Structure 1
Amino acid sequence: MPTARLNGELITDWESFHTVSAEVFGFPEFYGRNMNAWIDCLSYLRDEDGMSKFRLRENEVLDIEVQHSEKLRQNAPEIVETLEFCIDDINDRYADYGEAPALKLTLR
C-alpha cells in the first residue's frame, strides 16, 4: 500500500498544512491551497490527471499517515477533524463512481 506521510510536528495552521500537503502529495504549482483544492487533487488518484504524484491501481488504497498526530491535534484540532471529514468525502466520491475507497487515514 503506498503511503503519504504528513509530519504533524510541522503542521501548526492551515498555511503549513497546505505547504506540507503540496510537498508530500506532489500537488501541481497551481494548487489552490484550500480544502476544496485538496479534495480535488486527491479525487482522481486512479486517473492520469497529474494532480498528485500518486497513481493508484484499481482497488489500491493510499494510506495517509499523520505522524505526531497528537501534537497536531493539540496545536490545530480543526485540521485533524477536517482531514477526517474530507477523506470520507473523497471516498464517497469514489463510491459514487462504483470504485473502492482510495484513501485511508492513519494517525500515529
Structure 2
Amino acid sequence: MQTLVIPVPADRITDWDSFHAVFADCLGFPGYCGANMNAWIDCLTYADDAEAGMVSRPVPRGTLLTLRIDEAAAFARRCPAQYAALVEGAAFVNHRRVEMGQPPVLALLMVGAF
C-alpha cells in the first residue's frame, strides 16, 4: 500500500486550541472546519476524496495518509488528553471507513523515544 507522510510538529501543541491549529495548518482543513475532534474526524475520514475538499492534499484512493508525529513521547507527557484523542480519533476514522465499506486511510507514525 502506498503512503503519503505528513509531518506534524507536536512540539507546537500545548493545549486543545494549538492541537487543532497545528493539524489544520499541516493538513489544510477548510476554514469552516470546527476546532473539535468531531470535525477532525470528519476531515480525515474523507482524506482520499478530493471532491470533498476536507484536506488540502488529498491522497489517492488506496493510499494511506500517514501523520508523522514528531517528538511523540514528549507530546504524550505534555498533553496526555490530546495525545489520547489523536490515537483514538485516528482509530475511529479507520473504523468509520471500514463500516462504510472503504479501506482505512489514516496511519500514525510516532517519532521520538518512549
TM-score range, shorter chain: over 0.9
Provide the alpha-carbon RMSD of the alignment.
1.0
Counterpart Cα distance in 1 of 2:43 and 2:57 = 10
1:91 has 2:94 as partner: yes
- Residue 31 of structure 1: aligned partner: 33
Amino acid at match of 2:27: F
| TM-score, normalised relative to structure 1 | 0.94
Q: Which runs of 4+ in 1 moved over 2 A?
A: none
Counterpart Cα distance in 2 of 1:104 and 1:55 = 14
Alignment equivalent of 2:64, drawn from 58, 61, 66: 61
1:49 has 2:49 as partner: no
Counterpart Cα distance in 2 of 1:58 and 1:26 = 18
State the percentage of identical aligned residues.
Answer: 33
Alignment equivalent of 1:79, drawn from 69, 78, 82: 82
| Count of equivalent residues | 108
| Gapped regions of structure 1 (runs ≥ 5) | none
Residue 56 of structure 1: CA displacement? 2.1
- Residue 13 of structure 1: aligned partner: 15
Counterpart Cα distance in 1 of 2:31 and 2:100 = 27
